[in-house]
Structure 1
């Protein structure tokens, strides 16, 4: 039973970093999700390609609920996700890595909760610290040890996509305090919190955002920078797996317990 999962974003599609990989199709109440399960230095690890095979799913059509529900059904308790992001912060340059600690949500049409009334009830989940401090600390320690240009924190602006942002939107996001912009962290991290999973995102800066960089942004530029740095990202992920403590007490799991108690009271 894998208790740790890696969710691979843009440019990170291959579970080949694991040994003895088997493909599983998990049937959830929200639809099917494909998950690869393999081993790394003796422990089982799940790998889920967020955008599907060959980047076939745009950000707004990803079935985030099925993905997280599938990981929960497999027994996953800790999730490390990757993401390609544009930078709004001149200190965060292409090729840098950012351990985001907060988000600003500008998505528009995504199912962002497991609890939509009825038998499931309504749950207002605390998101004071949306990204797990324990996982972020492990990633920061390992990233620093292996010499990555790694920023300990940053505010992730999540947009709907699949289009890139206008220069005016980027100016607004900067005024609101955003550091990087992407299209996938919400609702993924929210659903992971509702599921009681510890969740962290390693964001790789692939470009300066619209109006900040000198050139017009293209998706090929994103893929080029990602390809040039994916080996560094893989090393960070794999070396961190050994130091993730799945038995440690954490507020992320505590919130799940609070949700379950609330649901039981409502049923009673």
Structure 2
């Protein structure tokens, strides 16, 4: 049976509808994951949940141990991963509150442990990353969005920046010229490491704010929290419909 994992980002450190059965502390060859792995059931199906930034939301994006997180999920037999992420909207059609299922990504991060293939190799390994998200998982998320009746966009390019600071208006202008629709801080190397582990991984992005220079005044945490609160309610509805789709009869 295929096992589903949910990686929760900012605004999603727990899932109220998850019937928790146990929490498991794991140790990996890459160090410690962000926190305990939470096992439970949703809609009668087995689900594993991991808070990307830790249960207390204390781990900044550039300090997340992406390799350890994904190794732990792989070790538990996870095959499919839904990664929830809070992002900023760059294009006019990506306003705060929007749910987006991106299909492409551009990596602007640096200095992160971004691959499994760097030492004790028998040969140099290159992975195909033409389509960075698993099309099967994207299709399941899109189907769940449609079933829940939630307004969403089924494509877009996620620009992954280093953080933890937010971007300048000029940086966002450059990202838009590069073709980015969204900006976030955790999309890479999470997506590429998932591919190296041969995990079926896709992202559900919640637009929490306009990106820098796309609205009047500075970006505030009050604005972000307000949009995340309503956005995560929609994510919960998506999860309710998604879980059965990930476990075909």
What is the TM-score normalised by the length of structure 2? 0.94
| 1:35-54 alpha-carbon deviations (Å, 9 max, x no partner) | 10111233211000000022
Secondary structure of the 1:134 match is helix
The residue aligned with 2:186 is: 184
How far 1:121 sits from its partner (Å)? 4.5
Runs (4 or more) in structure 1 with deviation over 6 Å come to none
- Counterpart contact for 1:8–1:47, Cα < 8 Å: yes
The residue aligned with 1:3 is: 3
- Counterpart contact for 1:2–1:46, Cα < 8 Å: no
- Counterpart contact for 1:100–1:203, Cα < 8 Å: yes
**Residues 128 and 164 (structure 1), Cα distance of their counterparts in 2 relative to 1, 3 Å cut:** same
Provide the rounded CA distance (Å) in 2 between the counterparts of 1:20 and 1:60.
29
The residue aligned with 1:175 is: 177
Secondary structure of the 1:241 match is helix
Secondary structure of the 1:22 match is strand
**Residues 26 and 2 (structure 1), Cα distance of their counterparts in 2 relative to 1, 3 Å cut:** farther
Alignment of 1:221-232 (within 5 A): 221-232=223-234
RMSD over aligned Cα atoms? 1.6
Secondary structure of the 1:242 match is helix
Alignment of 1:82-101 (within 5 A): 82-101=84-103
The residue aligned with 2:137 is: 135
Alignment of 1:58-207 (within 5 A): 58-119=60-121, 121-207=123-209
The residue aligned with 1:23 is: 23
The number of residues matched between the two structures is: 247
**Residues 141 and 107 (structure 1), Cα distance of their counterparts in 2 relative to 1, 3 Å cut:** same
Deviates more, 1:51-60 or 1:39-48: 39-48
How far 1:96 sits from its partner (Å)? 0.7
- Counterpart contact for 2:43–2:243, Cα < 8 Å: no
How far 1:244 sits from its partner (Å)? 1.8
- Counterpart contact for 1:3–1:246, Cα < 8 Å: no
| 1:52-86 alpha-carbon deviations (Å, 9 max, x no partner) | 02210000000000000000010000000100000
Gaps of 5+ in 1: 248-268
Secondary structure of the 1:112 match is coil
Larger helix share, 1 or 2: 1
Secondary structure of the 1:26 match is coil
Provide the rounded CA distance (Å) in 2 between the counterparts of 1:206 and 1:236.
17
How far 1:120 sits from its partner (Å)? 6.4
What is the TM-score normalised by the length of structure 1? 0.88
